[in-house]
């Protein structure tokens, strides 16, 4: 009886919307405390609820996949803020390209290098390499170089949440103050989840972050196979 | 609203087709973003057609990541086996990327002014 309810798509959809709405109101009540970033709070709360009531992820995903589907057209829609701010962004095309190129290189080298130094196994080191790019690109790359795609998917989401929670605050702390630099930094490091946070903070930063998802995807996709051949 | 949604889904679909046909590692939605930007720049698509749908999706974008995040629970064992290198590597590397990307963009922009 219970399984009939939890296997219905409305269970996953309803649970996600309900928990996200609660997380959002807690976030607004806390005067936008970044530690209560709704996406991270909602993920933790739903995982806890499923574990405590012994509901399998597959049951949740019967509904969850409909919400996830909307991510596709949202990524396409990132072209709209980009188009609205095209003049400012075009004027900064040099610094933007250089920033993403530096970020992509640092991301691959530091993620796999640090994991290796701390004693991570070869599979894990390879799975860490594309952690800052959007999930579908990261999975395609890891399949090519031979890590564990499922582990990469989890690492990419965790990286995104971390960047969304601390990104804008960390930028301010280390003297990154302009909207375009902040948006580029958070979009390059934390792909779509970071971009979602930037869109809320500042429209120009959100537009640049959206661009950074695509650019970092392209750069990492071209750099990673080369680095893998050189050092693999 | 409906027109905007139709355009977004159509371009995503074209992106998926291109990604599959050319076996690109770039996903269809990212290609769709590029196609839409080109369509807006050359004037095939007017930005007013998209405004309602794009604003609705983008202002709720964080919500759409929740099911992907919940998926992490399935691979908790995989992460916990080597949690220390993964967590330290992930945190430090994320901060390094933010710092380097932001500093490079900001210092080059200032030099250009």
Q: Measuring CA to CA, which residue among A165, A124, A154 is closest to residue B94?
A: A165
Could you give the residue ranges of the DSSP H alpha helices within chain A? Answer: 2-7, 9-29, 38-52, 57-69, 71-77, 79-84, 86-91, 93-117, 122-128, 135-145, 149-173, 179-201, 203-231
Q: Measuring CA to CA, which residue among B73, B72, B84 is closest to residue A124?
A: B84
How high is the pLDDT of residue A222?
87
Q: CB of A102 within 8 Å of any CB in chain B?
A: yes
Q: CB of A199 within 8 Å of any CB in chain B?
A: yes
Give every residue of chain B whose pLDDT is below 50, as ranges.
none
Pull the structure tokens for residue A101: 């190129």
Of chain B, the end-to-end C-alpha distance in Å amounts to: 40
Closest Cα of chain A to B19: distance in Å?
A: 11
Q: Position of tokens 């409305």?
A: A10
Domain ranges of chain A: 2-69, 81-231
Give the phi and the psi of residue A106 in degrees, each rounded to 5: -60, -40
Torsional class of A202: left (φ above 0), alpha (ψ -120 to 50), beta (otherwise): beta
**A110, B96 Cβ separation under 8 angstroms:** yes
How high is the pLDDT of residue A1?
65
CA distance A69 to A66: 5
CA distance B59 to A212: 18
Cβ pair B36:A80 closer than 8 A? yes
Choose the closest CB to A50 out of B30, B73, B105: B73
Domain ranges of chain B: 1-64, 67-113
How high is the pLDDT of residue B30?
85
Any idea of the CA torsion for A42, A44, A48, A50, to the nearest 10 degrees?
A: 60
Chain B residues 30-69 with a CB less than 8 Å from chain A = 30, 32-34, 36-37, 40-41, 47, 50-51, 53-55, 57-59, 61-69
Closest Cα of chain B to A159: distance in Å?
A: 7
List chain A pLDDT tens, one digit each, 232 residues.
678 888 999 999 999 999 999 999 999 999 989 899 999 999 999 999 999 999 999 999 999 999 999 989 998 998 999 999 999 899 999 999 999 999 999 999 999 999 999 999 999 999 999 999 998 889 888 888 888 888 999 999 999 999 999 999 999 999 999 999 999 999 999 999 999 999 988 999 999 999 999 899 889 988 988 888 777 6
CA distance B73 to A18: 19
CA distance B38 to A173: 36
What are the chain A neighbours of B108 within 8 Å (beta carbons)? 94-95, 98-99
Choose the closest CB to A188 out of B55, B95, B97: B97
Cβ pair B82:A121 closer than 8 A? yes
Pull the structure tokens for residue B48: 């007013």
**A82, A215 Cβ separation under 8 angstroms:** no
How high is the pLDDT of residue B1?
87
Q: Which residues contact A70 (CB under 8 A, 6 or more apart)?
A: B57, B64
């Amino acid at each position: 009886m219970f399984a009939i309810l939890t296997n219905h798509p409305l269970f996953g959809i309803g649970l996600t919307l309900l928990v996200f709405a609660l997380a959002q109101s807690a976030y607004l009540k806390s005067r936008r405390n970044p530690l209560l970033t709704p996406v991270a709070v909602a993920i933790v709360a739903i995982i806890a609820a499923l574990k405590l009531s012994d509901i399998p992820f597959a049951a949740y995903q019967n509904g969850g996949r409909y919400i996830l589907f909307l991510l596709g057209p949202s990524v396409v829609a990132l072209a709209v803020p980009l188009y609205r701010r095209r003049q400012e962004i075009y004027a900064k095309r040099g610094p933007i390209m250089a920033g993403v190129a530096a970020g992509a290189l640092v991301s691959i080298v530091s993620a796999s290098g640090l994991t290796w130094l701390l004693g991570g196994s070869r599979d894990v080191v390879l799975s860490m390499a594309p952690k800052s790019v959007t999930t579908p690109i990261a999975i395609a790359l890891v399949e090519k170089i031979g890590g564990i795609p499922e582990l990469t998917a989890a690492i990419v989401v965790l990286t995104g949440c971390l960047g969304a929670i601390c990104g804008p605050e960390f930028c301010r702390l280390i003297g990154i103050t302009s909207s375009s630099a902040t948006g580029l930094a958070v979009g390059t490091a934390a792909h779509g989840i970071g971009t979602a946070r930037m869109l809320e903070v500042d429209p120009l930063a959100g537009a640049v972050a959206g661009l950074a998802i695509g650019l970092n995807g392209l750069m990492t996709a071209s750099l990673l196979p080369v680095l893998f051949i050189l050092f693999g | 609203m409906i027109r905007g949604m139709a355009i977004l889904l159509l371009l995503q679909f074209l992106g998926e087709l291109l990604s599959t046909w050319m076996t690109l590692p770039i996903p269809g939605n990212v290609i769709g973003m590029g196609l839409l930007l080109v369509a807006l720049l050359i004037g095939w698509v007017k930005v007013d057609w998209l405004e309602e749908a794009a604003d609705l999706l983008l202002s709720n974008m964080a919500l759409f990541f929740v099911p992907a995040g919940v998926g992490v629970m399935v691979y908790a064992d995989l992460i916990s086996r080597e949690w220390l290198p993964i967590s330290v590597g992930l945190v430090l590397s994320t901060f390094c990327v933010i710092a380097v990307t932001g500093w490079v963009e900001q210092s080059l922009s200032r030099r250009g002014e």
